[in-house]
Amino acid sequence: MTAIEAGRTVAVVGTGTMGQGIAQVALVAGHPVRLYDALPGRAAEAAEAIGRRLDRLVEKGRMAPAERAAARARLTPATELPQLADAALVVEAIVEELGAKQELFATLEDVVGEDCLLATNTSSLSVTAVAGALRRPGRFVGLHFFNPAPLLPLVEVVSGFTTDSSAAITAYETAAAWGKTPVRSADTPGFIVNRIARPFYAEALRVYEERAADPATVDAVLRGSCGFRMGPFELMDLIGQDVNEAVTRSVWEGFFRDPKFTPSLAQRRLVEAGLLGRKTGRGWYDYADGAPGQQPHTAEPCPAPAAATVHTHLAGPAAVLQELIEEAGIKVSRDRAPEEHKGCIRLPGGARLALTDGHPATGDPSGPTIRFDLALDYRAATRIALAPGAEASEQDVREAVGLFQALGKEVSVIDDVPGMIAARTVAMIVDFAADAEARGVASREDIDTAMRLGVNYPGGPSEWAARVGRHWLCDLLETLRHQYADGRYGPSRALRRSLKLNGRML
C-alpha cells in the first residue's frame, strides 16, 4: 500500500488544538476533511477557527487566495459519526483516557469501510491497548503529531503489537505525502521522543532537588554548554507542569516504576499548587506583568591566570581546551604526572581543574579540586559550570573562573554535585537512546531525527555519543551508579555493548 490519495476523505475526531492542527495539515495536503466532536457545535467552531488560520496564511503570502477558497470548501463539520462513513483515514485526538478511545473506535469500526485506516494521536497511552477493543486491530496505528501540528514536521508512526505492516506503511507514506517527516516507532511507553527526553527534565529536577543550582542557572548552563534552544525548566513551563508531569508519570508506570523514570516530588508540589507554567502565569518562573526575571548565577569577572599546567592530556571531550587556553594567551606547560593526576589542569595556586567524571570534587585524593562540566563543543560553548570541592580556596575558584572567562565563556559556580548538569543530562539521554535502539523501538537514524525535530535538540543522541565518546559516557554513568546506588544510574547493556575499544567491559 502507498499513501492515501489526496482526493479521499480524512476525518478527525476531537477538535481541540491538536485535532484542529491535524485537520489543517490534511486539508492543505488536498484532502476533503470532516471534523467531528461529541460536544454539539464544537466541530463547526473548529472549522471556523481553521478557516481563520487559512486566512492568515493568505495574508502572510504562504497560500494563494484560490487555494484557501478550495481548502475551505473541502472542510465540513460533522454532527454525527455516521457522516464519517466514507473516510479513508480517521485520526482521533480526544481526551487521553483509554476507555473513551476504545469506545470511540469500537463505534467507528461499525461506521467506516473495511479499507479505512484508523489512527490515534495519543502521546501517552498504549496503541496496542487502544486497539484491543477492535475486531480488526491490524488496521489500527498511532500517528503522533507534535504541537503545533501545522508547523512541527515530526510524526511518530507507531505500530501496536497487532498492527499490520501494510497499515503502518500506509500511515508512514501518508504522513510523508503531507509534507511531514515520519519516523517509525514500536509501541513502547513514550514512543521515541517522550521516552528518550525524560532525562532532560529529570536530571534538571534532581540537580534542583539536591540544591546544587537554581532553575535559571540550570537552564543557562544547558543552553550555553550544549546548545539547547530552551532549558528544561523553561520548557516545562511552556508545556505545562501538569502535562509534563503526567507524561513522566505515564512512562514511569508503563515501565513498571523503573527507577530510571521516577517522577520528581518538586514538580508534583508545583502541580498541586496549581503553578502550571505560562498558562497560569507562574511555574518555575513568574510570568506576571512586571515580574523580575530570574537570572542565572554568573560569576563576577576574575583575572585570568598567567599560566597553567596540563598534566599528560585532558579527557576526551575536553581535549580542545589546551588549544583554547593557549589561544587565549595563557602560558601552558605540560607535565607527565602520576595516574591520579592525569587529564587535569593545574592552576597556579595548586588546585586541580578536571572535567567531571561523576565523582564529587570534595574529598578528591589528589588535593583541592574543581570540576568543570561537559560542553558538547568547548569552542562554541558560551557558558561553563564549575563545581569546587570543599578543599578548594576562594582564590582557587577565582583562578578557575578567570581561566574560562579568558576563553570567552560565562561561568556559573554550582554546588559540588556528582555529574554536574550537562554531563549527567547528555549521558542519560544517550543511554536511553541506545537502550531504545537495542530494544527495537526505532532505528538509530529515526531516533536522532525524532529528537532533533520533536524537541529541537541541537543534535541526535548518537551524534553526541560519537563526539563525546561512549567510553567516557559509560564511565560517568558507572560512577553515578556507585554515587547514588538507587537504581537510576548505570550504563544500559546496550551502551556497554557499543564499546569496541579493546573489547573493554565495565
At 191, phi and psi to the nearest 5? 55, -130
Q: How far apart are CA 129 and CA 190, in angstroms?
A: 14
**CA pair distance 108, 92, nearest whole angstrom:** 10
For residue 470 the three cell numbers come to: 561512549
DSSP 8-class letter at 361:
S
User: Residue 248: which of 302, 310, 312, 205 has the closest Cα?
Assistant: 205
Where do we find the cell 595548586? 350
Which residue pairs, CB below 8 angstroms and at least 24 apart, start in 258-263?
Answer: 258/487, 259/486, 259/487, 259/488, 260/198, 260/432, 260/487, 260/488, 261/198, 261/202, 262/202, 262/488
- Residue 156 among the catalytic residues: yes
What distance in Å separates the CA atoms of residue 107 and residue 14, rounded to the nearest whole number? 15
Number of H helices, E strands in the chain: 19, 15
Q: For 242-298, give the secondary structure using H, E and C.
A: HHHHHHHHHHHHHCCCCHHHCCCHHHHHHHHCCCCEHHHCECCCECCCCCCCCCCCC
Determine which one of 92, 109, 144, 462 is catalytic.
Answer: 144
Catalytic residue, candidates 109, 156, 203, 410: 156
3-state secondary structure of 458: coil
By the 8 A CB rule, do 308 and 332 touch? yes
Q: Is 447 helix (H, G, I), strand (E, B) or coil?
A: helix
Q: In the structure grid, which three cell numbers stand for residue 323, read together?
A: 588549544
Give the bridge partners for 78, in sequence order: 36
Q: Please check whether residue 155 is in contact with residue 142, taking contact to mean a CB–CB distance below 8 angstroms.
A: no
Distance CA 53, CA 76 (A): 16
Establish whether 31 is a catalytic residue: no
Distance CA 177, CA 23 (A): 15
User: Of 121, 126, 185, 194, which one is the catalytic site residue?
Assistant: 194
In the chain, how long is the greatest CA-to-CA distance? 80
Q: Which of 31, 121, 123, 185 is catalytic?
A: 123
CB within 8 A of 221, min separation 6: which ones?
A: 213, 231, 296, 373, 383, 384, 385, 412, 414, 421, 422
144 in catalytic set: yes
Closest CA to 15 of 46, 39, 41, 44: 46
Residue numbers annotated as active site:
123, 144, 156, 194
